[in-house]
Copies of this chain bind each other. A is one copy, B any other.
Amino acid sequence: MDPRVDDHAETLVDWSARIEAGDDVVLRVAEGAHDLAVAVAEKLGARGANLVSVYGSDEISRAYLQGHDGEFDEDPEHELALYERADSVLSLGGGRNTTALADVPSDRRQSAARAHEGIREARLATDWVSTVHPTRSLAQQAGMAYEEYQDFVYDAVLRDWEALAEEMAQLKDLLDSGTEVRIVGDGTDLSMSIANRIAVNSAASVAYDSHNLPSGEVFTAPVADSVEGSVTFDVPMTVSDRRVRDVELTFEDGEVVDFTAAQGEAAIAETLETDAGARQLGELGIGMNRGIDQPTDRILFDEKMGGTVHLALGRAYASNFPEGYEDERNESAVHVDLIRWMDEGSRLEVDGEVVQEDGLFAWE
């Protein structure tokens, strides 16, 4: 077995999930994630944790949903009990077909999700971590050869997380003590206030309230009505199943007042029309994972790319709002991330101080 599979398992169990003896762990294994699951199971055994393996098969989900009439029971007791009593839920993504559920009517999927909301909440109340095992199907989605994609995933996952967490802590401190952020670059001059916000050091560990492996970003929430100026996003994305490229947004008093896109303009228009909150920003994120050097159309990786920033239209995360400021949280049914490279000619400033220039942080 590729020794990186074992390293991945160790990173997941020890750095990310902080598994200890006696922990009741649910391991959710996608169809193609068997090898990683075996490596994780060995670590869980060695730590003295207790293991239930759940088979997270998209083909089983499809068959079940296709057979069902769509009137789902609310939070089936056995599944709810499993997650309510679990300490940790480790989800190993990595299917054999990213479109395995494509022919299930979306209203049936939504009904099932609504009926199982209590189970979802129970799962999110555990020390949960999601990661992916590199499969051929994910390589295909990324437009890569299989071996190339394996290298890509392991470069992203197998970081010196302790060192990265320390580096990210520097940026978090700057953002927590600063009030004004300015992003400057090609087609871009955007400013916003981040007063009374807490930046999150997303270091791929439950110890940092960070639940994805890989992670590697610091994110905060702009004061919604403070955003002024224009910004372009040169990383291609998929928004509502449509490709979107070179989006430019112009803000006045925090609201998008003008927008263009080289491709997928209609998807952006629809996003903005969702609700009032969709025309404001809910997140400013700064990607700091240098192991991710190209987009693969998977937000779990793309938004963490070292040398990028992303802004999200719509819903803000609760974790960015200190007590007493929860009311300022931007609400929306959507949270659509858009990403720009901060390369040659780009600059990130906090209170007039240059934090990043030409893609490099001041301390790099």
Docked Cα-Cα span, A103 to B61, in Å, equals 34
Highest count of chain B CB atoms <10 Å: which of A26, A27, A51, A78:
A78
Hey, which chain B residues are within 8 Å of A76, CB to CB? 24, 50, 52
Instruction: Write the residues of chain A forming the contact surface with B, with a CB cutoff of 8 angstroms.
Output: 22, 24, 26-27, 29, 31, 34, 37-39, 41-46, 48, 50-57, 59-61, 63-69, 71, 73, 76-79, 81-86
- A209 CB to closest chain B CB (Å) equals 22
24 contacts between A and B (CB under 8 A): A29-B55, A31-B34, A37-B57, A37-B60, A38-B57, A38-B59, A38-B60, A41-B63, A41-B64, A42-B67, A43-B67, A45-B64, A45-B67, A46-B67, A48-B73, A50-B76, A50-B78, A51-B64, A52-B54, A52-B79, A54-B55, A78-B83, A81-B81, A82-B82
- A364 CB to closest chain B CB (Å) equals 39
Hey, which chain B residues are within 8 Å of A84, CB to CB? 81
Known interface pairs A50-B79, A52-B76; 16 further A-B residue pairs with C-beta atoms within 8 A, sorted by A's residue number: A27-B60, A34-B57, A38-B63, A41-B60, A44-B64, A44-B67, A46-B67, A46-B68, A48-B68, A48-B69, A48-B73, A50-B78, A52-B78, A53-B56, A53-B57, A81-B85
Hey, which chain B residues are within 8 Å of A34, CB to CB? 31, 57, 59
The answer on a CB contact under 8 Å between B78 and A24 is yes
The answer on a CB contact under 8 Å between B68 and A77 is no
Docked Cα-Cα span, A63 to B148, in Å, equals 28
Hey, which chain B residues are within 8 Å of A65, CB to CB? 45
Docked Cα-Cα span, A84 to B81, in Å, equals 9
- A65 CB to closest chain B CB (Å) equals 6
